[in-house]
Chain A
Amino acid sequence: DTGVSQNPRHKITKRGQNVTFRCDPISEHNRLYWYRQTLGQGPEFLTYFQNEAQLEKSRLLSDRFSAERPKGSFSTLEIQRTEQGDSAMYLCASSARDRGPRGYTFGSGTRLTVV
């Protein structure tokens, strides 16, 4: 197992387009988290899944954002009608249920640039 994998690493899109990112967690981890990191800021929590259930969503996750984790394995984060303010690094992390953030492993992130 090579850790948490995120694809693509970089994405440049025009304003108004839709984008989708993928996160493949560590296989035995049943919790999966999405964070957003804008320039000069720390990561901010967006949402998390336990298995396939989305258990919490931050107020940062507007109607244009949707996340899924079918079958409790990989997860996708889709942003519809992108705006320049969506430009950020999107980070995924996974952990085992009984570890929570004490057992986080982060992926390398997807950097989104909206032009």
Chain B
Amino acid sequence: AQSVTQLDSHVSVSEGTPVLLRCNYSSSYSPSLFWYVQHPNKGLQLLLKYTSAATLVKGINGFEAEFKKSETSFHLTKPSAHMSDAAEYFCAVSGEGNGGSQGNLIFGKGTKLSVKP
């Protein structure tokens, strides 16, 4: 069964400093992995996705993530935080195609990112 662990429930950085949000996954099959952002009282917006192409994935708003199979990780990074990045971030894995749930996502519990001025 697939699962996702977000290692930090809360990360605080200063504006202009790098961001690292950690995500580890468990999957019996070659996974598709996703990062979503959620601003207060809003829905989820896709930041980026890994679907077995390039292991370094670039997303919107300067975010990127690297798929590391040996470490079962898919950490999200950004070189320089902006105040508008303050939000909750969710890592997710898809079990699509493995005989399990077709097309649903399994989410981590989220990491709240705070950005200090």
Contact A42 B109 (CB under 8 A): yes
Q: Interface residue tally of chain B, by bracket?
A: 20 to 34
- Residues of B contacting A25 in the complex (Cβ-Cβ under 8 angstroms): none
Q: Interface residue tally of chain A, by bracket?
A: 20 to 34
Q: Which listed residue, A6, A41, A56, A104, touches B105 by the CB 8 Å rule?
A: A104
**In the complex the two chains form, what is the Cα distance from A109 to B44 in whole Å?**
9
Q: Which listed residue, A45, A102, A107, touches B106 by the CB 8 Å rule?
A: A45
Contact A100 B96 (CB under 8 A): yes
Contact B107 A44 (CB under 8 A): yes
- Residues of A contacting B45 in the complex (Cβ-Cβ under 8 angstroms): 106
**In the complex the two chains form, what is the Cα distance from A104 to B94 in whole Å?**
11
A-B contact pairs, 26 of them (CB 8 A): A4-B43, A41-B109, A42-B107, A42-B109, A43-B105, A44-B107, A45-B101, A45-B104, A45-B105, A45-B106, A48-B103, A48-B104, A55-B102, A100-B94, A100-B102, A100-B103, A101-B34, A101-B92, A101-B94, A101-B96, A101-B103, A101-B104, A101-B105, A102-B51, A108-B43, A109-B42
